[in-house]
Structure 1
């Protein structure tokens, strides 16, 4: 019982550290401007549409995921089957899929994972939008999980909370690690 209480208190303290950014009312326009700044060939209409969708779809997903708690508490509810979705990789997968449906000609989506090699922290996944043909390093993090459905965004280079690694690289490393662990024993 003491362990359960300690766990709940720890989750509560971690959740308290995750206050969403203040809302100024011009978030969509600020994000659209940041997307336009990715390069001179970014279509301003696409930048506006991507920003609008990123905000509105994050709000829609928060409703669908039944978000009522801070992220780590919600994660526990998802893992116990009390909520349908809402783990960070759900947010990243869903927002990437939705933005990819737009068929942008000047923008491209990427996926990234942080903390994959850190045994003291849980993995965190996100979607990143960049100029078409650029790497994720040149993009903008779109992370609705971080503040429980309130979209956090930042140029990747300015997101100092996480060290993002391309998702494919993390998954390939895990595949190789698993393959090595599963090789049959051959006696010599």
Structure 2
């Protein structure tokens, strides 16, 4: 399959309809830039910043666990981006995955693999949550992993999103502070979809 101008035009239209313009570059907010100024690499700076944000979720979080979670969240997606040959913006890569041109790299793939990696850490003081946005509207549905303090709600956690900026570069924020998406628990979305399918079948 050739990547034609027509295909590009279709993608532009899809992006416009989805309302999901991607950030142009991997930005660090000013307070996190201080880490980079200390001589750290960008990845080290992001790990340190994410670790600090995870620890701020609650006093019971083990600093060693926060470190391991931050390392996995920042470094593993960069490896997967290489494994999956991610060289395009997220929505372009999605189209290529859906047409069989690339092996993986949909938002669900990033979230699934990140969750598996976090499970392997056998976390005791941090909980994992799955969340979905845009499940009930015409915009592009999006899936992520959220981490929180043990026993806390996903709304009080941190969204970990390696898809949003492309190339496996991790983006994160507090769940309720996300400027682009409003998140629902994945189990609630799945339950709603099952009920919707039943209603549709009964109306036929």
Taking structure 1 as the reference length, the TM-score comes to 0.89
Contiguous gaps of at least 5 residues in structure 2: 29-35, 37-41
Contiguous gaps of at least 5 residues in structure 1: none
Task: Report the number of matched residues.
Answer: 184
Distance 1:31 1:177, change over 3 A: same
Structure 2 equivalent of residue 63 of structure 1: 82
Aligned counterpart for 1:97 among listed residues 110, 116, 132: 116
Q: Measure the CA separation in 1 of the matches of 2:179 and 2:8.
A: 31
Deviation at 1:3, TM superposition (A): 6.2
CA contact (8 A) 1:35 1:140 kept: yes
Distance 1:59 1:181, change over 3 A: same
1:161-176 aligned at under 5 Å gives the runs 161-176=180-195
For each residue in 1:152-181, what CA deviation from the matched residue of structure 2 results, as whole angstroms up to 9, or x when unmatched? 011112112100010110111001110222
Aligned counterpart for 2:95 among listed residues 62, 76, 82: 76
Structure 1 equivalent of residue 162 of structure 2: 144
CA RMSD of aligned residues (A): 2.3
Matched, 1:6 2:9: yes
Deviation at 1:19, TM superposition (A): 1.9
